[in-house]
Structure 1
Amino acid sequence: MQTDSTQAAHELGDASFYLHDYHFRQDNHNGICTLQPQNRQGYGNIYQVQPTDGLFLSTGSWIPYASMERKYEINQKLVKIYYLESGGVTLIQNGRKAQPITEGIHLYLNKPSQGRVLYQPNIPISYASVLLFEDYIEKNLQDRFTPDDFDYAEVYDWKAFDYNTPEIGTLFLQIRDKLIAGETSRLYYESKVGELLSIVAGNFHKQRQEIASKHQSLSKQEKKALESVRLAIEQNILNPPELSQLCKIAAMGQTKLRESFKKMYGVPIGTYIRQSKMKYASLLLKKNELSISSIAKHLGYQNASKFSSAFKNYFNQSPEIYRKNNYNMRKD
């Protein structure tokens, strides 16, 4: 059973869950796998392409009509980077506490593990995903590049820093649009995957160097506690935990937490939260169908004026100008 589950995931990617657990309708045409829920299950489409062994790219926009659960047990290493634009999705991994998956860009590193993914009913799910199995990474990356370009040994140490950036968001939107348009070019998709991994690895190195230069006086236990605080903020950026909750997570008093957080990340907690919100706002601005007012409301601002002021303070340009500049750029 475990071997079958792992083999199915490796052969079919995310489609294995939809086909085996939910029995979605499937249509394969010109290299694109299109999946649709049964009429009683939901409505919408999922598109997936497999440019080569061990690599899958997919995008979906669908609505489940009832609560749905998919169980997985994959005894193989994999890397999954995905952009959840919307959806009521919860991850429960290896018996840990349920973790709602927030909107934004996420990194999932699978060492042999099992868990469940829960979908809430009547909440539109919209996403784009890149899934890489270990054999693809070894064959196409590890064997072709030096550790200075791509160090496979450190992949499973990657942390969730700076994923909600405009350049990564742009890549996912490009992948999404190409999938929907029926693009199947291996060259196109592998070039985008290479670009994505290069950005993620670069951000990892940059952040690691910055932190190393700032927190020499912090103990290993304090660093771990502060990382838990940062993750709690990143994973709940639309509704960040109160300071009292962060103190409990870190097992520190308010003064100690404030001082230690600034020492490790270079900015106060409140500033870090505002910066993270602005980075996520830059992703939302790439969706031209969203008004500035709706984005401001989504991020918890009382009005568009206050949001625009905060955005300009961070990016040195208004949301309107930022959107205009980005949409004048080439989309692929």
Structure 2
Amino acid sequence: MNNVLTTLHDPCLMKHGFYLDEKCTEFNSEGICYSIHPEKGSGHYWVYPNKNLFSISIHDFVFSKDLFFVYKIPEYLSISYYELGSAEDFKPNNQICCGCIKGFIGNLSLYQTLFHKNIPVRSIGIEIMPEYYKDYLLKKYHGEYMDPCSAFLSLDGATDFPELVALLKQIKYYRGTGMSAKLYYECKVAETISLIVDKSKNMDTIKVPRKISNEDMNSIKTVASYIDDHFAFNIHLDQLTGIACMGTTKLKYIFKAVFKCTITEFIQNKRLSKAEHMLLNTDLTINQVAKIVGYKNASRFSELFHKNTGLLPNEFRKTSNIY
């Protein structure tokens, strides 16, 4: 019989350099720990599985080389809080950064994420399978049931949900065992869903993107290509509207629908990605790197870099000497 471990976690971890580590004692003994093979990096991925209903996972690892995760995902919901880290999702297109909450809906599609080398990833997540959020909740709360899918998705990228962050951190440091652990984890998963559903009621309803024509899609791709080539320069919105042959409102709307971020965030992500490469592969000063990627002020660059990765540029550069 399938369970959340064999359905979701095992196939991905074994494929990308992790192995089952029964000697690891850094986490709650009620869960299962995977470690990274030394040639890939260092650190661990801990999972507490509950049949095929849900799992709780704690990530604390760093790769010594850029690692491209590609795997076909099952149907599930997840919510994660990134204490530290920087990565890029390609399907869906999104940036993972320090201090953000990631809400995700798995739908049997291909998932692609690039984890950057030498940037530690520390996060806490809960993965909920259809047997829980469809079958179990529907049966238990018949007549009151609310599908939590849209609520989870509405929180993707959120940075202002302290109640959820506090709950996930409690889970991270819990060390109970036996029946008390099982009850604790079951209650925390239910509490997480309650918080998310309640939070989503107070947020603006997510707009379903209208169908994007091939012509508009090609225009947006042309804008993105222009940004790729000119991100280090001052890019004005009127330049982009001219390239796209669109009005400002339409450009902003379609761009965000396609890339899941604003134009400003897209430019910033390009700059910081280039900066990461230069910090690890050149001996240029922080000020020089800042100017090359488009920031006149090195302190502003350092502030954005820290916000995105959880590390200051100098700290990030020092990590490259470890591996």
**Kindly tell me: are residues 134 and 10 of structure 1, through their superposed partners in 2, closer, same or farther at Cα, counting changes over 3 Å?**
farther
Partner of 2:9: 14
What do residues 72-98 of structure 1 show as CA deviations (whole Å, max 9, x unaligned)?
Answer: 113x421011111222322222xx6x5
Partner of 1:112: 108
Query: What is the CA–CA distance in structure 2 between the aligned matches of 1:33 and 1:204, rounded to whole Å?
Result: 32
Report deviation, 1:10. Answer: 5.2
What do residues 208-259 of structure 1 show as CA deviations (whole Å, max 9, x unaligned)?
Answer: 46x89xxxxxx9689xx9xxxxxxxxxxxxxxx98829979998655x68xx
- Native 8 Å contact 2:77 2:128 kept in 1: yes
- Native 8 Å contact 1:25 1:37 kept in 2: no
**Kindly tell me: are residues 158 and 67 of structure 1, through their superposed partners in 2, closer, same or farther at Cα, counting changes over 3 Å?**
closer
**Kindly tell me: are residues 10 and 63 of structure 1, through their superposed partners in 2, closer, same or farther at Cα, counting changes over 3 Å?**
closer
Partner of 1:129: 125
- Native 8 Å contact 2:90 2:112 kept in 1: yes
- Native 8 Å contact 1:162 1:203 kept in 2: no
Partner of 1:45: 44
Amino-acid identity (%): 18
- Native 8 Å contact 2:69 2:113 kept in 1: yes
TM-score where L is the length of structure 2 = 0.58
Report deviation, 1:30. Answer: 4.2
Query: What is the CA–CA distance in structure 2 between the aligned matches of 1:69 and 1:182, rounded to whole Å?
Result: 35
Query: What is the CA–CA distance in structure 2 between the aligned matches of 1:63 and 1:124, rounded to whole Å?
Result: 4
5+ long unaligned stretches in structure 1: 1-6, 213-218, 226-240, 261-268, 274-293, 302-332
Partner of 1:328: none
Query: What is the CA–CA distance in structure 2 between the aligned matches of 1:91 and 1:64, rounded to whole Å?
Result: 16
Report deviation, 1:128. Answer: 0.5
1:31 matched to 2:30? The reply is yes
**Kindly tell me: are residues 143 and 8 of structure 1, through their superposed partners in 2, closer, same or farther at Cα, counting changes over 3 Å?**
closer
CA RMSD of aligned residues (A): 4.4
Write out the 4+ residue segments of structure 1 that deviate beyond 6 Å after TM superposition.
219-222, 245-252
- Native 8 Å contact 1:80 1:132 kept in 2: yes
Partner of 1:100: 95
**Kindly tell me: are residues 30 and 110 of structure 1, through their superposed partners in 2, closer, same or farther at Cα, counting changes over 3 Å?**
same
**Kindly tell me: are residues 130 and 161 of structure 1, through their superposed partners in 2, closer, same or farther at Cα, counting changes over 3 Å?**
closer
Partner of 1:310: none
Q: SS of 1:66's equivalent? A: coil
What do residues 43-75 of structure 1 show as CA deviations (whole Å, max 9, x unaligned)?
Answer: 12222111343311011211111222222113x
Partner of 2:227: none
Partner of 2:89: 91
Q: SS of 1:116's equivalent? A: strand
Residue identity opposite 2:165 in structure 1: G
Aligned length: 238
RCO (CA 8 Å, sep 6+): is it higher in 1 or 2? 2
1:190 matched to 2:189? The reply is no
**Kindly tell me: are residues 42 and 8 of structure 1, through their superposed partners in 2, closer, same or farther at Cα, counting changes over 3 Å?**
farther
Query: What is the CA–CA distance in structure 1 between the aligned matches of 2:243 and 2:182, rounded to whole Å?
Result: 44
Query: What is the CA–CA distance in structure 1 between the aligned matches of 2:244 and 2:142, rounded to whole Å?
Result: 38
Report deviation, 1:146. Answer: 3.8
5+ long unaligned stretches in structure 2: 217-233, 254-261, 266-298, 307-323
